[in-house]
Copies of this chain bind each other. A is one copy, B any other.
Amino acid sequence: MKIIETAAETKAEVKRLKMQGKTVGMVPTMGFLHEGHMSLVKQSVEDNDVTVVSIFVNPTQFGPNEDLEAYPRDFEKDKAMLTEAGADIIFYPSVDEMYPEGAITMVKLASITETLCGVSRPGHFDGVATIVCKLFNIASPDRAYFGSKDYQQLQVIKRMVKDLNMDIEVIDMPIVREEDGLAMSSRNIYLKPEERESALSLSRSFEIVERLIDAEEISADVVQLSVEEFIAGYPHTEIDYIEIVHPERMTEMEKLTEDFVVALAVKVGRARLIDNKFFSVKK
């Protein structure tokens, strides 16, 4: 496995491999890898001749009061996990390599980024779209793999790829959960032991939605309030949003007469956790 720190060398290496007719899969990450990331890497290794994993804690997707500095990092462990999984290249650039002095270009998406995490984290998705656009141009992947936990991010990237005519297949993989249901996240490390139980309120709340849908509840407001009450009933929780949205457009829904996604962001202690679930509505 090669570790490459510059965009130019990564490009040259990928070009060389593509000249040999090899297909390239990419998994963009911020490192501190867990089983969620590894499910993407494994799928990429299975689907492609070459797998490029980028590890870059992207400053442009963090707000001024967010956890950029504190964001957990463990390159040696990441490297060991990626070697084990059969990745071929780690692209591991510095901030200066990705955003040299004078850089002023941003990729921005309207509407889809103005709900959910786009509200509580203004500018977040512009940062995500911009860095992913750059990474795609550097590694020229045939396929790129993203987890469904960052559901809105996934929609943003799919939309960007389509809108900017990129020739990349975006593949979304299911959320990987701990045995007790907690969605895997690098930020779970922030959870104190006494907060761990409260963190389960997110995934458990989906059971409430399931029950309401089975009982043919069609008011999004009713579902939303039930979830809110349920999560607020756990100590250490501070709800950022509970939204019921259209699966692609990410617009709010009122009547649950077609498929929808429940998307949650809840602070549990220091950890801002997100989770979501797709619900299919029988017509």
**Could you list which residues of chain A lie within 8 angstroms of chain B, going by C-beta atoms?**
7, 11, 102-112, 129-130, 133-134, 137-138, 159-160, 162-167, 249
Closest to A134 in B: B165
Given A138-B165, A164-B137 in contact, is the A107-B105 Cβ separation under 8 Å? yes
Contact B106 A108 (CB under 8 A): yes
Bound CA–CA A138/B105 (angstroms): 20
> Chain B residues near A167 (CB, 8 Å)?
11, 137
CB proximity of A113 to chain B, nearest CB, Å: 8
Question: When the two chains form the complex, which single residue of B11, B102, B105, B129 contacts A129, counting CB atoms closer than 8 Å?
Answer: B105
Bound CA–CA A182/B13 (angstroms): 47
Q: Most B CB atoms within 10 A — which of A11, A105, A106, A165?
A: A105
> Chain B residues near A133 (CB, 8 Å)?
164
Q: Could you write out 20 A-B pairs with CB less than 8 Å apart? A: A11-B165, A102-B159, A103-B163, A104-B110, A104-B159, A105-B107, A105-B108, A105-B109, A105-B129, A105-B160, A106-B110, A107-B107, A107-B108, A133-B164, A134-B163, A134-B165, A137-B164, A137-B165, A137-B166, A137-B167
